[in-house]
Amino acid sequence: MPDQTRREVLRGSAAGAGLATIGTAAVSASGNDRKIVGLAAGEDFGPAKAVADSVHRTLDFGDVGKAVAGNFSEQAIDRLRANHDVRYVENDGLMHALPGNGPPGGGGSEGECLPWGVDRTDADVAHANGETGSGADIAIVDTGIDDDHPDLQANVGKGKAFVECKGGNCNYAWSDDDDHGTHCAGIADAVRGNEEGVQGVSTEATLHAVKVLDKSGSGTFSDVADGIRYVADQGWDVASLSLGASSGSQTVKDAGQYAYDKGVLLVAAAGNDGPCSDCVGYPAAYSEFVAVSSTDSDDSLSSFSSTGPEVEIAAPGGSVYSTVIGGYDTFSGTSMACPHVSGAGGQLMANGVSNKKARSKLKNNAEDLGLGDNEQGAGLLDVADTLGYDSSDDGTGDC
């Protein structure tokens, strides 16, 4: 039942008790020799498909343009480059999940604990004022989500796989087989009040697993781009992208422009190349994406965090305790900072705020940590202040 959501299954069970993609099957994202041929918006896929040895994906980004990802001979590429309707030709390179190498962290306390990042950004203050994110749709564009996790299953909605799920956890094609996507999902939107595990920045938004990274945490430009396109075409509010590459992709940028124009708030991890300067990775470096750097619990910039003028906001990313397949663990990285902002974006958009207005409010209400603009952007995420509540309770949680 790939098109039936986990939430629909749970609701159906409760009632009874009285209570992919454009193209073909998903494939591995491991090494390949594929090219992506970018076409003008008004052109047909046919000319590029006709000279391809094989086609992996066709991508339609509306007025932005089109693209065909596949295998082409050198002669075919030379002919395509000479065609004035071909905008670009690029390698179908890889993007990767972005966990860092921060200090180890502790586990949670018995029962439900409050992660330090949720507390430090005053998301718990928002919770106390009834803000849950209910009604918002947050897409975790990553390795998938553990749909059976007790802290996530009530919030998990539709998913889509663009790479193959492998292993024993593949209840759905979009299930997580790596842990990374599940960890990010818990930060953004773990349930609150179930007396176990953790709570997220949002707690009742609908989570959508858009599986573009495989079991090794890697995915091709064309798969990531198609995942972003899919989020836009579903009308979902937020795309959380804890992934990146050191080199850019016009195809991913086109997908970002298409999604942003359709109202999606695109949040991306800045990268884990620190200490460094002017080193924000892609897609975070593109103007359509909110680039998020990482801080530690003492409000310092995480040592691994990439920095640069593209950074818009900082969020907790060092030693963050969250959900993994079948349990909980502590990870560090701008991957962990990113879903804090995605969860806050869900809170705003649940209240009817547009993606552009949400982006502005997140920055305008950030807390200045005294770091450089290239390190913190506008400052540290402040969920309560962004939603109009008192933000003086800057605690550090209990996990």
Percent of the chain with pLDDT strictly greater than 90: 83
Least confident of 103-107, 166-170, 322-326: 103-107
Tokens of 175: 């299930």
**In the sheet that 218-220 helps form, which strands lie side by side, from edge to edge?**
218-220, 94-97, 243-244
Report field, pTM of the whole predicted structure over 0.95: no
Phi then psi for residue 180, to 5 deg, are -60, -50
Confidence of residue 167 (pLDDT cuts 50, 70, 90): confident
Mean pLDDT score across all residues of the chain: 90
Higher-pLDDT residue of 357 and 398 is: 357
The pLDDT of residue 107 is above 60: no
Q: Which of 243, 171, 183, 223 is closest to 207 using CA atoms?
A: 183
pLDDT in tens, 302-315: 999 999 999 999 99
Dist CA 284 CA 239 (whole Å): 12
C-beta atoms surrounding 17 within 10 Å: 7
Rounded distance between C-alpha atoms, residue 253 and residue 269, angstroms: 15
- pLDDT at 17 (0 to 100): 28
In degrees rounded to 5, what are phi and psi of residue 165?
Answer: -85, 135
> Quick one: CATH architecture of 96-386?
3-Layer(aba) Sandwich (3.40)
- Which residues are known to be catalytic? 142, 180, 335
Average pLDDT over residues 385-398: 83
The residue with greater pLDDT, 388 or 108, is 388
Structure tokens at 321: 């305790």
Q: Is 341 left (phi over 0), alpha (psi -120 to 50) or beta?
A: alpha
pLDDT over 50 (residue 163): yes
- CA dist 213 → 162, 209, 218, 222, 223 (Å): 8, 11, 5, 11, 8
d(CA 52, CA 249): 20
DSSP 8-state secondary structure symbol assigned to residue 382:
-
Residue 28 pLDDT grade (very low, low, confident, very high; cuts 50, 70, 90): very low
Over the stretch 236-286, which tens digit does the pLDDT of each residue have?
A: 999 999 999 999 999 999 999 999 999 999 999 999 999 999 999 999 999
**DSSP reduced 3-state for 239:** strand
